[in-house]
Amino acid sequence: METQIENHSTQENNTNLAVIAYITIIGLIIAFMLNKEKKPLVNYHIRQSLGLACCGFALGLLNIIPILGWIISFFGMFVLLFLWIKGLMNAINKVETPVPFLGKKFEEWFKNI
C-alpha cells in the first residue's frame, strides 16, 4: 500500500514539474533544476517549453523590423499562444505529444536535455 501511495506522489510531482515548465522562463528553469532524476515526462515537456520560449524570443527579435516584422510578430504570437496552450494541456494530461507544427523539431533540436 505504501508503494502505491509513493508512486502516486511521484507521478503527481512529475506532472507538477511538467506543468511548471510551461509557466514563464523562470518556471522552465525551476523545472529543469528540480528534475534531477531525469524523469521522461518532465524532460519531454521541458524540451517542448524550451522550444516555445526560443520561438517567442525569435518573434520578439522579428518585432524590431518595421511593418512586415510587426505583422508577422503579431500573428505569430497568436500561433505561439495556441501552441503554448496545447503543450500545457498535454502536460496536465500526462501525455508526451509534440505541439503542432514544430514539436517534432523541438524533440530533435533539444534531444540532449
- Reading the block at residue 55, the C-alpha cell is 520561438
Number of domains in the chain: 1
Complete DSSP assignment for 29-71: HHHHHH-TT--HHHHHHHHHHHHHHHHHHHHHHHTTSTTHHHH
Residue type, 99: V
Give residue 55's domain range. Answer: 2-109
Whether 16 has a pLDDT exceeding 80, the answer reads yes
The pLDDT of residue 35? 87
The pTM score is 0.84
Min mean pLDDT across 11-20, 40-49, 54-63 is at 11-20
Per-residue pLDDT for 14 more than 70? Answer: yes
